């Protein structure tokens, strides 16, 4: 049972003994909290700071500009979603957050774009309103993709696999950067108002920068909500639903939620970066976690198939058009079977 979030410091990575300790700590963290603070990661503090500044500038744009970039206009799950567009926990009110998704700009000629795979395609950039934004997001996405690859190599070792075991699944990966802004909860908010309802993440890794306000909580097996307090200079990393599939449920993708308790009445900002395998990657139990007899808990699926199923659960009408549109295209449907 866990009551706090462990810290893993990549700074110790340079010696063999240090790496062994990191890998052991990672194995432990993934079997318990499924969350850890990642320190010593080498991403410059100034780069992260600049991301938060861009995010604040983006959300300060007039509503009509943000709405012109709405997610529902995208074939690749990129763009803006307004407060209330997503309800992560069906027993609560719609989430009190606004967000913006962007990712690698895959060209129209890329085979995955041609096939209509969700998550692949162009972005909706606010180029006219925010010059420089696109380049800054691209730089951050590249840095975070590299960090995600580094963590995946460590995760492979934690699973007693060669460190490059997952690397082939990460050519043309599904990665997404999300900017999030949580307004203060309104006066008169009740127990069903929430910033982000309880959910698990869908992919493999999430690497999150959060501001100094806190509000993120992860549920332990007792049902208690454990705070994930801000830790200066560290990312919060958590594993998503693909990892229990790889490990026959030994590694945990735990529910988490956000409540903006911020007493100063100010918004909370966070920057999750979702780092997942390529769309057509087969997700199956790895050899070191296969049960002694019988099939593993999860049947094989592709990464894309898994993600689409998860998205459909948490979006209401807003995304019906775009997601069903993808599903309806012959190529995409073929890839999902
Ligand atoms: O804002 C946060 O701290 C967490 C966001 C989150 O859980 C998500 O976007 O999946
Ligand atoms: Fe999440």
CB contact at 8 A, 76 and 110? no
Is 272 close to ligand 1, i.e. is its CB under 6 Å away? yes
Nearest to 5 by CA among 201, 156, 231, 182: 231
Is 237 close to ligand 1, i.e. is its CB under 6 Å away? no
| Closest ligand relative to 86 C-alpha | 1
The pLDDT score that the predictor gives to residue 312 is 77
The pLDDT score that the predictor gives to residue 71 is 94
Could you tell me the pTM of the whole model? 0.92
The pLDDT score that the predictor gives to residue 321 is 36
CB contact at 8 A, 84 and 95? yes
CB contact at 8 A, 36 and 9? no
Reported ipTM: 0.99
Report which DSSP code applies to 23.
H
Give distance in angstroms: CA of 145 to centre of ligand 2: 18
The pLDDT averaged over each successive group of 10 residues in the chain (337 residues) is 95 91 98 98 98 98 98 92 90 93 94 91 96 98 98 98 98 96 85 91 97 95 95 97 97 95 84 97 97 95 90 56 31 24
Is 258 close to ligand 1, i.e. is its CB under 6 Å away? yes
Nearest to 217 by CA among 246, 180, 256: 256
The pLDDT score that the predictor gives to residue 308 is 85
Average pLDDT over all residues of the chain: 90
User: Which residue of 212, 256, 314 sits with most ligand 1 atoms within 8 Å of its CB, as the best mutation to test the pocket?
Assistant: 256
Question: Exposed, middle or buried: residue 8 (CB in 10 Å: 0-12, 13-18, 19+)?
Answer: buried
Is 96 close to ligand 1, i.e. is its CB under 6 Å away? no
CB contact at 8 A, 155 and 36? no
The pLDDT score that the predictor gives to residue 318 is 44
Nearest CA to ligand 1 atom 10: 201
Is 209 close to ligand 1, i.e. is its CB under 6 Å away? no
The pLDDT score that the predictor gives to residue 323 is 39
Atom of ligand 1 nearest to the CA of 216: 3
Nearest to 115 by CA among 309, 302, 311, 314: 302
pLDDT of 152-185, one tens digit each?
999 999 999 999 999 999 999 999 999 999 998 8
The pLDDT score that the predictor gives to residue 315 is 58
Question: What would the two tokens of residue 336 be?
Answer: 């999902």
CB contact at 8 A, 280 and 182? no
């Amino acid at each position: 049972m866990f009551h706090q979030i462990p810290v893993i410091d990549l700074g110790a990575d340079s010696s063999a003994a240090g790496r062994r300790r990191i890998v052991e700590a990672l194995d432990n963290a993934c079997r318990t909290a499924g969350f850890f603070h990642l320190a010593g990661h080498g991403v410059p503090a100034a780069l992260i700071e600049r991301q938060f500044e861009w995010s604040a500038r983006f959300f300060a744009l007039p509503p009509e500009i943000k709405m012109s970039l709405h997610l529902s206009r995208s074939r690749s799950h990129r763009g803006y979603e307004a407060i209330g567009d997503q309800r992560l926990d069906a027993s609560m009110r719609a989430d009190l957050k606004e967000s913006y998704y962007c990712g690698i700009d895959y060209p129209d000629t890329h085979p995955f774009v041609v096939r209509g795979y969700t998550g692949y395609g162009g972005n909706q950039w606010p180029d006219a309103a925010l010059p420089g934004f696109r380049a800054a997001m691209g730089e951050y996405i590249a840095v975070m993709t590299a960090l995600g690859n580094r963590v995946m190599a460590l995760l492979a070792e934690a699973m007693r696999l060669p460190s490059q075991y997952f690397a082939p699944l990460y050519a043309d990966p599904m990665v997404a950067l999300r900017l999030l802004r949580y307004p203060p909860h309104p006066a008169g908010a009740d127990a069903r108002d929430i910033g982000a309802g309880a959910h698990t993440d869908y992919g493999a890794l999430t690497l999150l920068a959060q501001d100094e306000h806190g509000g993120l909580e992860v549920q332990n097996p007792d049902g208690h909500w454990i705070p994930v307090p801000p830790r200066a200079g560290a990312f919060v990393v958590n594993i998503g639903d693909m990892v229990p599939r790889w490990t026959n449920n030994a590694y945990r993708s735990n529910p988490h939620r956000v409540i903006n308790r911020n007493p100063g009445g100010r918004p909370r900002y966070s920057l999750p970066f979702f780092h997942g395998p390529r769309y057509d990657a087969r997700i199956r139990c790895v050899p070191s976690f296969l049960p002694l007899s019988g099939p593993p808990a999860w049947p094989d699926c592709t990464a894309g198939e898994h993600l689409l199923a998860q998205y459909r659960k948490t979006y209401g009408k807003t995304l019906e058009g775009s997601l069903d549109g993808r599903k309806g295209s012959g190529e995409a449907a073929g890839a999902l079977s």
